[in-house]
């Protein structure tokens, strides 16, 4: 009736390999909150969020105790605020403050959706929201923002790419005293998913229902532990098979928790995002998995191939384990949040260029990368353009979450704290992209966007 | 509702007695017990039926964990579904 091996394996994954549910994220539509008066708009948003997610934290904690599995974060994603605040007369920052107050009231650490989707162009509301991002993220602590600047269907909005370079620098300047932390809460996307439960890029897409529960699992430590046991002599088909099986187990747990949360909260279950999301904790690292495959350091030649295998095997294992997979689903490589990545940067093994190559084969983009504070707006925009090109051409999501840390130069240490981790400031290419970014306009959609 | 109790730590006199006494007090029925040594640690696994328990799950979980602290063991109780869903199709 009880298989001791199975029980012990599960306990081991949880207690010594950091297996956890990274987040239960409740998506909430705010489409019915729009109002011309700014005060009323904020009241409506605050009221709806606090009403809808009233029991989120309590329920998450009860599920944690029932199954004995840690659920690290309970979070909220809302409809892109640019759409909701568009018809209001006031300053968008007030909406961010209302979101922040709602998050505080509910006891959650992050609320996502201070966002705009401008891949094909701006509306007046989009522009006002994007311009307000620096102040909004600097004056709140829990609000996360994102801007989608490209899709495979629409191409790359280079005006928005240039704009975001400026916005990121403003975010950095406004929070210069705190390692430019506002930039860590801002993601620039290509092909943004509408049901991603992970921060800082979570928002509740316009095609989503009134409310939904999405779950993000984790588990780099578990995959690393399994690979370690497999040993160095196994060939790659055995490695892929083992990762697949491990991803299956991890995802099943996410599915179980998602269904239970959905039942208890009486909110439809959306997706399991089966991303391998590292944390700064020792051993909970995607870089260590790649190194366990035989690379001396993450970033050595072969890293892209290793990551491609990992990303694919995680999806194959996860897809059978859940009725509905979505979000980003793959391996994350946020540098500051992964102790192995930080170590690789520090030892000179991992560069920005190698990370860019890695983003071609994994689920996100350049994530949580600290660069020198004097990096120019145009260089940041050009980094975004490169990632957006990878995303649009390869029909995948890419994102840039980059932190030009004011007052820091290449090689300096930074500390963002908590799950955001810390690390080393990475160097950027010193040649100018100024004239390239100044052109503006739109890079047309790739030919394979014409699929109809 | 069925749950799995795991006790992991250094073997000593009275572990089963202590756990089963708590379960008896809470009107929880033991369905199966197995014990083994895994990675050098004493490991006892119990399948129990907590459907007619006189205390709620969280209280029972707290009492078991406290007993574990007292005996320098790790005692957990988890809904059996987590093990079933993870390992069985």
- Residue with the bigger pLDDT between A328 and B4: it is B4
Contact (Cβ atoms closer than 8 angstroms) between residue A277 and residue A218: yes
Q: Does the pLDDT at position B39 exceed 80?
A: no
Question: E strands, A184-282, where?
Answer: 186-190, 211-217, 269-273
Q: What is the 3-state secondary structure (H, E, C) of A412-437?
A: CEEECCHHHCEEECCCCCCCCCHHHH
The domain made up of A26-54+72-190 has a fold known as: Anaerobic Ribonucleotide-triphosphate Reductase Large Chain (3.20.70)
- Tell me the chain B residues in contact with residue A6 when contact means C-beta distances shorter than 8 Å: 83, 86-87
ipTM over 0.85: yes
Listed in sequence order, the residues at least 6 apart from B39 whose beta carbon sits closer than 8 Å to its beta carbon are none
Count of CB contacts below 8 A, A vs B?
65
The model's pLDDT over A395-445, given as tens digits with 9 standing for 90+, comes to 999 999 999 999 999 999 999 988 889 989 999 999 999 999 999 999 999
* CB pair distance less than 8 Å for A7 and B58: no
Tokens 């998506």 map to which residue? A27
- The alpha-carbon gap from A102 to the nearest alpha carbon of chain B, in Å, equals 28
Choose from A1, A9, A11, A58 for mutation: most chain B CBs within 10 A: A11
The domain made up of B2-87 has a fold known as: Alpha-Beta Plaits (3.30.70)
What global pTM score does this model have? 0.93
Average pLDDT estimate for A112-121: 98
Where exactly are the structural domains of chain A?
Answer: 26-54+72-190, 211-439
The model's pLDDT over A248-274, given as tens digits with 9 standing for 90+, comes to 999 999 999 999 999 999 999 999 998
* CB pair distance less than 8 Å for A66 and B79: yes
The reply to whether A26-54+72-190 and A211-439 are identical in fold is yes
Q: Which of residues 27-86 of B touch A (CB under 8 A)?
A: 31-32, 34, 36, 38, 43, 45, 47, 57-58, 61, 74, 76-79, 81-83, 85-86
The model's pLDDT over A293-341, given as tens digits with 9 standing for 90+, comes to 999 999 999 999 999 999 999 999 999 888 888 888 888 999 999 999 9
pLDDT band at residue A15, thresholds of 50, 70 and 90?
A: confident
Contact (Cβ atoms closer than 8 angstroms) between residue B68 and residue A68: no
Q: How far is it, in rounded angstroms, from Cα A388 to Cα A382?
A: 10
User: What CATH number labels A211-439?
Assistant: 3.20.70.20
Q: Look over chain A and give the mean of its residue pLDDT values, rounded to a whole number.
A: 94
Q: Does the pLDDT at position A148 exceed 90?
A: yes
Where exactly are the structural domains of chain B?
Answer: 2-87
The model's pLDDT over A285-300, given as tens digits with 9 standing for 90+, comes to 999 999 999 999 999 9
């Amino acid at each position: 009736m009880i298989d001791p091996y199975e029980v012990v394996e599960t306990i081991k994954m949880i207690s010594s390999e950091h297996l956890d549910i990274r987040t239960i994220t409740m998506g909430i539509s705010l489409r019915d909150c729009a109002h011309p008066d700014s005060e009323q708009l904020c009241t409506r948003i605050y009221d709806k969020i606090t009403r809808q997610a009233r029991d989120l934290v309590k329920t998450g904690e009860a599920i944690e105790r029932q199954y004995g599995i840690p659920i690290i974060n309970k979070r909220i994603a809302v409809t892109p605020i640019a759409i909701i605040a568009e018809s209001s007369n006031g300053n968008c920052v007030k909406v961010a403050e209302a979101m922040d107050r709602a998050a505080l009231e509910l006891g959650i650490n992050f609320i996502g959706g201070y966002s705009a989707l401008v891949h094909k162009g701006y509306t007046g509301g989009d522009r006002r929201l994007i311009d307000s991002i620096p102040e909004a993220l600097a004056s709140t602590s829990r609000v996360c923002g994102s801007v989608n600047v490209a899709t495979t269907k629409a191409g790359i909005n280079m005006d928005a790419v240039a704009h975001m370079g400026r916005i990121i620098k403003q975010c950095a300047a406004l929070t210069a005293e705190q390692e430019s932390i506002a930039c860590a809460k801002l993601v620039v996307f290509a092909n943004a998913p509408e049901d991603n439960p992970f921060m800082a890029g979570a928002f509740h897409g316009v095609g989503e229902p009134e409310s939904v529960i999405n779950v993000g699992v984790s588990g780099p430590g578990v995959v690393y532990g399994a690979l370690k046991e497999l040993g160095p002599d196994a060939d790659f088909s055995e490695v892929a098979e083992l990762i697949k099986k491990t991803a299956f187990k991890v995802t099943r747990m996410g599915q179980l928790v998602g269904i239970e949360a959905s039942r208890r909260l009486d909110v439809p279950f959306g997706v399991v995002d089966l991303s391998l999301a590292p944390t700064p904790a020792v051993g909970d690292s995607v870089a260590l998995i790649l190194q366990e495959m035989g690379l001396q350091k993450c970033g050595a030649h072969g890293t892209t191939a290793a990551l491609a295998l990992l990303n694919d095997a995680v999806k194959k294992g996860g897809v059978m384990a859940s009725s509905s997979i979505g979000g980003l689903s793959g391996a994350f490589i946020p540098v500051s949040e992964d102790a192995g990545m930080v170590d690789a940067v520090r030892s000179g093994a991992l560069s920005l260029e190698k990370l860019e190559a890695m983003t071609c084969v994994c689920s996100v983009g350049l994530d949580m990368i600290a660069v020198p504070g004097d990096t120019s707006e145009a260089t940041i925009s050009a980094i975004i353009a490169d990632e957006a090109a990878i995303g649009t051409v390869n029909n995948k999501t890419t994102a840039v979450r980059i932190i030009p840390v004011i007052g820091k130069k290449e090689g300096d240490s930074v500390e963002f704290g908590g799950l955001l981790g810390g690390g080393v400031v990475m160097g950027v290419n010193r040649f100018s992209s100024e004239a390239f970014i100044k052109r503006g306009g739109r890079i047309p959609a790739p030919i394979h966007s014409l699929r109809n | 509702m069925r749950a799995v109790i795991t006790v992991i730590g250094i073997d000593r006199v009275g572990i089963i007695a202590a756990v089963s006494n708590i379960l008896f007090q809470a009107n929880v029925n033991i369905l199966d017990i197995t014990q083994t040594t895994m990675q050098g640690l004493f490991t006892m696994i119990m399948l129990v039926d907590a459907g007619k328990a006189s205390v709620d799950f969280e209280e029972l979980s707290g009492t078991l964990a406290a007993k574990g602290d007292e005996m320098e063991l790790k005692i957990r109780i988890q809904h059996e579904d987590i093990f079933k869903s993870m390992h069985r199709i």
